[in-house]
């Protein structure tokens, strides 16, 4: 039996998504070690708990995240709200990574420390030029077609330009191409994913922008919040990612001590756990339709969903107060 979960509209659209969405950034990466079957199982487990919003990208797991999502939604496409992104391209080393991935997963399983080493190599892949951004209209059109194929669907509910640059947001030809794909029914809602206030600000000028995706946690700079208010006032939905700051705000020995200390104070003030405080913060931020959790573990997802139920059953802490008590003076970008 499927469980129902609080749901919200994405901006003014008719699209309703679960208040918690599943982030698939690490679903099929080398460092997490999830097999195809486990990845599909996690999505089915999420769906059975009422999670209908799945966030992916063509670059996640070198395309294997979208493939797993495609497999999981086969035969039940209409039950899911699928968001994907494009804008990153792998260099010639990309296919090689896919080939050696099973080997890397084996290493992760066998050797402590291998996961950290692979994660480090992954974050360095942009500096090393393995992963480059390319928002040329023709490249984005072919990326959309490839995503549709991998996901086994003929439409995407939300399509984001992945970590869009200012140039990409201001490229009228690119946006026109996306509007044409929308008119053709391939993309239902167009979005911008970015953590850059200048990019988000520029995207307010885009006609028919449906959604933005950005990190929403207490470490974000204070100039993000007035921007989110503007999106919300215009009926543009906000998808919150990195609500635990990639897990760093949950770690016992976090390097982000000042934010973590404030979270602890909020925990005492509100009688909630750190995870619940961070979830309440993300869901309370202006315009947020869904807060993504980037877990690869069903047991963690269950905990996050239990947090959502706790928050739904009691008066939520006032967001403005929560923000004031959680934000450090020099929040990090």
Ligand X SMILES: NC(=O)c1ccc[n+]([C@@H]2O[C@H](COP(=O)([O-])OP(=O)(O)OC[C@H]3O[C@@H](n4cnc5c(N)ncnc54)[C@H](OP(=O)(O)O)[C@@H]3O)[C@@H](O)[C@H]2O)c1
Positions that interact with ligand X (CB under 6 A):
23-25, 55, 85, 162-163, 193, 213, 241-247, 250, 275, 292-297, 300, 303-304
Neighbours of 179 (CB within 10 A): 15
Query: What is the spatial distance between Cα 66 and Cα 59, in angstroms, rounded to a whole number?
Result: 9
* Least separation in angstroms between CB 296 and ligand X: 4
The DSSP secondary-structure symbol of 316 reads P
Q: Between the CA of residue 69 and those of 46, 76, 300, what are the distances in Å?
A: 12, 11, 19
Cβ proximity to ligand X: between 171 and 196 the closer is 196
Q: What are phi and psi of 213, to 5 degrees?
A: -125, 130
Cβ proximity to ligand X: between 27 and 185 the closer is 27
* Least separation in angstroms between CB 293 and ligand X: 5
Neighbours of 84 (CB within 10 A): 29
Nearest residue to ligand X, by Cβ distance, number only: 294
Query: What is the spatial distance between Cα 22 and Cα 1, in angstroms, rounded to a whole number?
Result: 19
Helix runs in 4-113, H state only: 36-48, 64-73, 93-110
Q: Are 81 and 56 in contact (CB under 8 A)?
A: no
Which DSSP helix (H) or strand (E) runs through 225? helix 224-233
Cβ proximity to ligand X: between 50 and 246 the closer is 246
Query: What is the spatial distance between Cα 99 and Cα 120, in angstroms, rounded to a whole number?
Result: 19
Neighbours of 56 (CB within 10 A): 29
* Least separation in angstroms between CB 82 and ligand X: 12
* Least separation in angstroms between CB 79 and ligand X: 19
* Least separation in angstroms between CB 222 and ligand X: 20
Cβ proximity to ligand X: between 6 and 96 the closer is 6
Cβ proximity to ligand X: between 153 and 315 the closer is 153
Cβ proximity to ligand X: between 24 and 153 the closer is 24
* Least separation in angstroms between CB 259 and ligand X: 13
Instruction: Tell whether the torsion through CA atoms of 94, 46, 293 and 104 is positive or negative.
Output: negative
Cβ proximity to ligand X: between 13 and 193 the closer is 193
* β-strand partners of 83: 55, 158
Cβ proximity to ligand X: between 245 and 270 the closer is 245
* Least separation in angstroms between CB 300 and ligand X: 4
Neighbours of 292 (CB within 10 A): 24
Query: What is the spatial distance between Cα 56 and Cα 49, in angstroms, rounded to a whole number?
Result: 19
Cβ proximity to ligand X: between 28 and 162 the closer is 162
Query: Token pair of 110, please?
Result: 């066998």
* Least separation in angstroms between CB 118 and ligand X: 14
* Least separation in angstroms between CB 38 and ligand X: 12
Query: What is the spatial distance between Cα 129 and Cα 312, in angstroms, rounded to a whole number?
Result: 44
């Amino acid at each position: 039996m499927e469980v129902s979960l609080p749901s919200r509209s994405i901006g003014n659209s008719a699209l309703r998504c679960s208040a918690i969405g599943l982030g698939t950034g690490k679903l099929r990466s080398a460092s997490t070690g999830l097999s195809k079957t486990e990845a599909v199982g996690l999505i089915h487990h999420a769906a059975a708990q009422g999670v209908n919003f799945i966030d992916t990208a063509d670059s996640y797991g070198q395309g294997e995240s979208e493939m797993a999502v495609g497999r999981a939604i086969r035969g039940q496409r209409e039950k899911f709200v699928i968001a994907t992104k494009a804008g990153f391209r792998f260099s010639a080393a990309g296919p090689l990574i896919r080939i050696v991935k099973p080997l890397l997963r084996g290493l992760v399983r066998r050797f402590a420390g291998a996961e950290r080493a692979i994660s480090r190599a992954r974050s360095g892949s942009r500096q090393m030029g393995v992963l480059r951004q390319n928002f040329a209209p023709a490249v984005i059109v072919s990326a959309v077609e490839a995503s549709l194929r991998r996901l086994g669907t003929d439409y995407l509910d939300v399509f984001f330009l992945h970590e869009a640059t200012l140039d990409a947001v201001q490229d009228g030809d690119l946006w026109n191409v996306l509007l044409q794909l929308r008119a053709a029914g391939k993309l239902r809602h167009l979005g911008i994913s970015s953590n850059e206030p200048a990019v988000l600000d520029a995207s307010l000028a885009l006609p028919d922008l449906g959604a933005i995706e950005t990190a929403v946690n207490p470490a974000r700079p204070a100039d993000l919040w007035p921007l989110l208010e503007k999106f919300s006032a215009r009926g543009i939905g906000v998808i919150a990612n990195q609500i635990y700051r990639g897990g760093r705000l949950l770690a016992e020995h976090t390097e982000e001590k000042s934010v973590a200390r404030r979270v602890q104070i909020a925990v005492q003030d509100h009688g909630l756990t750190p995870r619940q405080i961070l979830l309440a913060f993300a869901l309370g931020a202006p315009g947020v339709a869904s807060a993504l959790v980037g877990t690869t573990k069903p047991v963690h997802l269950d905990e996050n969903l239990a947090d959502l139920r706790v928050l739904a059953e009691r008066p939520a802490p006032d967001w403005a107060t929560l923000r004031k008590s959680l934000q450090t003076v020099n929040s990090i970008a």
